Amino acid sequence: MAGASTASIPCVTLNTAHAIPVLGFGTGSSSTPSDLSSIIVDAVRLGYRHIDTAALYGTEGAVGAAVADAVRAGAVASRGDLFVTSKLWINDAHPDRVVPALKESLFRLGLDYLDLFLVHWPVSATTDEGKRTLVAFDMEGVWRGMEECQRLGLARSIGVSNFSSAKMSRLLSIAAVPPAVNQVELNVGWRQEKVREVCAENGVVVTAFSPLGAFGAAWGSNAVMESGVLQDVAARRGKTVAQVALRWLHEQGVCFVARSFNRERLKQNMELFDWELSEDDKAMIMQIPQRRACHGEFFVSPDGPYKSEEELWDGDI
């Protein structure tokens, strides 16, 4: 990726030899601004190079327009300077739907390829006359479709999202092409140590969504941004709470996708890479209580394949 030399945001090399920027711009929101494309272009001008979207978010069109506008405006030299991620939604998580779904995402984005394509959840659904039914997730069949996306050059790297440590282990045992990334809820209030251990042992990069707790989202939590521990560390270090939370992730070797539509906060979120947390800071952060915010309860049903959150997360709760 040509953008790997971006001065402000370091990159990590994936198992495909492609480089992913440590910090990404997230576009998943319950209230997407009408000027999202121009905000993304502003973020690119600031130095952001990774843009994260998904079929579910309804933002692929805006992301595609922003990519074209950023190139046209000279914010980057070419599309190759940007790293674009999108995700396969559960309605398309069927072996015969994976490649067509990616082609549909590429059409909405106006792009020839994705840098990273993720299975959004280990969940499949069918829809009949507007009624959604959760059905068994064919992990091997869906992953073969993902591998075909990479073989065809439609996605340079492939991965998953919301996979538990047990599901990661199972996928790794059947994959011809191993996943490059597992994107999961991860922050100081939900450290995901079991998932991170499995991924680290197998060369899979972990990317955090909701690195600041998704404050204000319907399912989000204020545990990060209102943490007294983080407020104390931030005050002592002359940093914002968000900067401390994101710096902690960076020091754990985790990439992260942060969502902000405010230019000043976008800039602050980049100011992470020229300072370090002290041992005392890290010891304090390790005392923060742990609680999952995104439970996935909408995928749990007495009639579906996951009858409890315990089954969905395989005990990672």
- Could you list the residues known to form a binding site for substrate, using ranges: 120
Identity at 171, one-letter amino acid code:
L
Q: Enumerate the known binding-site residues.
A: 120
Task: Provide the residue type at 127 as one letter.
Answer: T
Helix (H/G/I), strand (E/B), else coil: 200: helix
Report the alpha-carbon distance of residue 122 to residue 136 in Å, rounded: 9
Distance CA 234, CA 72 (A): 39
The terminus-to-terminus CA distance of the chain in angstroms comes to 36
Q: Can you list the positions of beta strands (E) in the chain?
A: 11-13, 19-21, 23-26, 50-52, 83-88, 114-119, 124-128, 131-135, 155-161, 181-185, 205-209, 255-258
What does the DSSP 8-state code read for residue 187?
B
Q: How many CB atoms lie within 10 A of CB 197?
A: 13
Q: At what angle do helices 228-237 and 241-251 cross, to 10 degrees?
A: 90
How far apart (Å, rounded) are the C-alpha atoms in residues 94 and 36?
31
Q: Annotated catalytic, 57?
A: yes
Instruction: Just list the catalytic residues.
Output: 57
